[in-house]
Amino acid sequence: MPTPPAVEAISARKTYGDGQAAVVALKDVSVQIGKGEFFTLLGPSGCGKTTLLRLIAGFETPTAGQILLDGNDITADPPNLRPINTVFQNYALFPHLTVAQNVGFGLEMQGRPRREVEETAAEMLALVKLEAMANRRCSQLSGGQQQRVALARALAPRPKVLLLDEPLSALDLKLRKEMQSELKRLQTETGITFIFVTHDQEEALTMSDRIGVMSAGKILQIGSPRDIYTKPANRFVADFIGETNFLSADLSGQTLTLPGGFRIDLTPAQTKGRQGQVTVALRPEQIRPADQGLSATVTQLVYFGTDMHSHARLSDGTEVVARMQTSPSGEAALHEGQAITLGFAPEAIQVLED
């Protein structure tokens, strides 16, 4: 018998309010998250990712559907009976307790002996490199330190699943980068399943084993960072993760006709049986000047140091951005108003769902 996933949501629905004013925050979401996985829920604010997290934590009960932990239905369990801990966006550290007391709180509530509580708290503080702060008040700590205390507090009871609700959003860029690798290290060391919520696509791409992209209360696509980036299922995912160009095209058999009449042959895996009018995505970094390809006119060149963003207009008026490498001297091989042919590998084309 295969081991059940660490966390599973089955058709989880959450509605706030009732009647005319009802808001559906989560529309029958089903997802399976494996043991020891670093799973990220990614989406813009209001997409339902935090609602899903709160349903897993037990802070809210689903209007319909089920939440399973290791295959057991925990939908009706209150949060204190779930071996799941949360790192809150605002940390929610207890201001009347010391750092060590905060970290030991969960174990103490579980009724563990005082000695064990103190030892584990010290161990956890060592894990997040805050041993020296054990007897401080939380208000005396910096934002980054508070963040680490919140992490230690949530990890101390050795939960089966750790939920992280945009924990890095309050930190400055440098600290955020540090904490990203810190989190990844902690997850590898502890082997605990992490469910991470963020609206930052870069954070999601660099840290996750798998990403679930959410929008308007639904999970649109689940996959590895590479899959999500290179094979976005639809326009929203392609647009939300990284930069991309959208082109209208026509599919006939395996042959794709792009604006200006340029034709290429796609594989069946790419076309997914679609015919007729389709929208395709093409990443800017996949485009090169070539002998064959899309005919365009350069409209604008933007120098970024590492590369050059060339904006070009196709014959049907579509604006396309191509990221091209700069020469060692930083000089552009192109100039505005120049006619150019934009080439790309056929595999770079993604046919999107509607």
Question: To which residue do tokens 């395996």 refer?
Answer: 254
Given a contact cutoff of 8 angstroms between Cβ atoms, the answer to whether 31 and 222 are in contact is yes
Cβ nearer to other proteins, comparing 37 with 165: 165
Compute the least distance from the CB of residue 121 to other proteins, in Å.
12
**Nearest approach, Cβ of residue 83 and other proteins (Å):** 9
Q: Which is nearer to other proteins, 138 or 281 (CB)?
A: 138
- Smallest separation, CB 273 to other proteins (Å): 46
Tokens of 300: 């604008």
Of the candidate residues 4, 13, 34, 59, the single one contacting other proteins (CB under 8 A):
59
Interacting stretch for other proteins, rule CB under 8 A, among 37-45, 80-88, 217-225, 237-245?
Answer: 80-88
Tell me how crowded residue 235 is: count the other CB atoms within 10 A of its CB.
16
Q: How many CA atoms lie within 13 A of 51 on its CB side?
A: 27
List 23, 61, 72, 94, residue binding other proteins (CB under 8 A): 94
The residue among 105 and 229 lying less far from other proteins, judged by its C-beta, is 105
* Residue (154 or 322) nearer to other proteins, CB: 154
Give me the least distance between CB of 45 and other proteins, in Å please: 17
Assigned token pair, 152: 């230690």
Q: Which stretch binds other proteins (CB under 8 A): 82-90, 125-133, 189-197, 335-343?
A: 82-90
The full DSSP string for 104-152 is HHHHHHTT--HHHHHHHHHHHHHHTT-GGGTTSBGGGS-HHHHHHHHHH
- Residue 61, interface with other proteins (CB under 8 A)? no
Q: How many residues does this entry show for the chain?
A: 354
Integer distance in angstroms from the first to the last C-alpha of the chain? 38
The string over 40-62, giving b where at least 16 C-beta atoms fall within 10 Å of a residue's C-beta and e elsewhere, is: bbbbeeebbbbbbbbbbbbebeb
- Kindly state whether residue 95 participates in binding other proteins, applying the rule CB under 8 A: yes
User: Between residue 38 and residue 57, which ones bind other proteins under the rule CB under 8 A?
Assistant: 57
CA torsion 143-148-153-157 (nearest 10°) is 160
The least CB distance from residue 172 to other proteins, in Å, is 22
Answer yes or no whether residue 109 interacts with other proteins by CB under 8 A: yes
Cα separation of 267 and 260, whole Å? 21
The residues that touch other proteins, with contacts defined as CB under 8 A, are 57, 59, 78-81, 84-86, 88, 90, 92-96, 105-106, 109-110, 139, 153-154, 157
